[in-house]
Amino acid sequence: MGAIAAASFGLSPGALAAQPPGYTIANVGAYGGEPSIVSDTAGQLYDTTPQGGTVTYTSTNAGATWHQVTTADPSSGDDCLATDQSGAVYLCNLNGSAETLPLQADVWKSVDHGQSWTRGQSIARQATVCGTSCSPFGVDRDWVAASILPPATKTSQAEVVLMYHDFYGPSQIWVNISHDGGATFGAPQEVLASPAVTPGAVTGTLVAQGYTFCNTVPAGVGIAPPGSPHAGRIIVAWIAADLAQNATGCNISMLQSFHTLWVSYSDDNGVTWTPQQAFDAGFGHDASTPFASFTLDNQGNPYYGFANNLNSNPATCSAESTAGTVQSDTSCEYDMYVVWSSDGGKTWDGGGGIIPGSAARAYRVNSTAETGTHWFPAIAAAAPGRVDVAYLRTTEILPTDPFGKADAGGCAGPQAPGNPPTYPPACQWNLYAGQSVNLTSSPASATWTVTQITTTPMHVGDICNLGIFCLAPSSNRNLLDFIMEDLDQKGCAHIAYADDNTVNMLRAANQTSGACLKR
């Protein structure tokens, strides 16, 4: 169905599409939340879930059928996937079975399509007591990227970047980098500790540190591909709160309003870094669901997909949530947005934001007619300005607090223990996908086509965005924290998600008709 959006602050109008993308759903394997999906350069797909160890599946027929490969590690927390140009697969996992220290991250590699895996070692400590990350401050929400950069020609020479934030420290953003295809990794590097020697980078680092100290959520990492304008550039992304909320104290409750989106990039293999704010939605406009989604296009340009209550007055919406009148106020809803940079991360949506280079306005994916709550963003990009965004949607408007945070249990229904009678009925969630081929136009004129993929809800009830502070029974975290999307070698979209309503399986929605985005 077409997406038509009004032109107001933060919104971009949509347009009707003659042939919207069509999707076919396939069962991947046993139920597991928070799936990661990736395609190699030949179109072979990999899908993994952290529930039950690093349980991983592969498909050689565009996602139509799947079979399980070898489990790299029987113990896993947060996971992620990446591939390099040779087709080698990299799998990150948190708190694996080999560690004797808590909360460390590993990077596993397979060069035989998942039949066998080898584990990367930290050169800071070759023993397996501290994982690939070997961080003294502990590790949380890891992501990985890999690329074979000339003059390198073999996967054993690939650059591999493991990115995360610390768990026991001030929530800073770190990387460990390998230059030998993931066999060994350097020591942890804090990306705001080594600014590039330019006035902008030094000043920008101080500004970024003020926002991100204490409260961050890593969004992803990418390496600009060979032949692109910024080939080899490492870009890490995270969302953060602000100085005022940091002053209330550092914690891991996720109760802050994560309204600022950031990147930091390095052109010298991680020696120095240049931070840049991508977008500031403003206090009380939360982008943590709990994650934003991050990707690069084929020219190394970065993109954020994120949910946000961008048009709300947080105090008003909180009062209406308490009174039970919020369902009639569509300004309180969370919608789906994109910001991107056409110059490798320096300037976002043409600039104009308060911090130089940041976006003044975001692209809105869903139309104003598509009301409700839009959650769990997933993004994939092809050529510049050609992008797919997947998300979950319910027709209910999620109750929020004065900080713009979703009420824990707000979608569980008024009958759930501890919930007030003013809450909406238990939310029914379906999977959607939006596509744009003209984000090179301004946010006011770019167009989107949106497709509803599932018609039977894949989840019913709450989707909590407070991470480990989501408490049963009403504060539901069955899906864990995200869905994910990638494009195959033809540019066709594949979306990994969990269905715990009717089929109770890990599933993939595969684009089987309509225009694919050429990579």
**359: nearest Cα among 1, 31, 12:** 12
In a domain, 65, yes or no: no
> In angstroms, rounded to a whole number, what is the distance separating the alpha carbons of residues 429 and 458?
6
In a domain, 346, yes or no: yes
The enclosing H or E element of 143 equals strand 140-147
Name beta bridge partners: 238.
Answer: 218, 262
In a domain, 509, yes or no: no
In a domain, 31, yes or no: no
pLDDT of residue 359: 98
In a domain, 300, yes or no: yes
Where in the sequence is the domain holding 322, given as residue range(s)?
1-22+215-493
Is residue 189 within 8 Å of 177, Cβ to Cβ? Answer: yes
**267: nearest Cα among 318, 218, 306, 229:** 229
In a domain, 204, yes or no: no
pLDDT band at 162 (very low <50, low <70, confident <90, very high): very high
In a domain, 396, yes or no: yes
pLDDT of residue 124: 67
Name beta bridge partners: 372.
Answer: none
**286: nearest Cα among 404, 397, 411, 408:** 404
Q: State the CB neighbour count (10 A cutoff) for residue 177.
A: 19
What the block records as the tokens of 299 is: 């020219």
Q: pLDDT tens for residues 181-206?
A: 999 999 999 999 999 978 888 888 98
Domain count along the chain: 1
Residue 99 to residues 106, 132, 146, 363, Cα–Cα distance (Å): 9, 10, 23, 43
**205: nearest Cα among 218, 193, 188:** 193
Q: pLDDT tens for residues 346-395?
A: 999 999 999 999 999 999 999 999 999 999 999 999 999 999 999 999 99
Q: pLDDT tens for residues 6-58?
A: 223 333 333 344 478 999 999 999 999 999 999 999 999 999 999 999 999 99
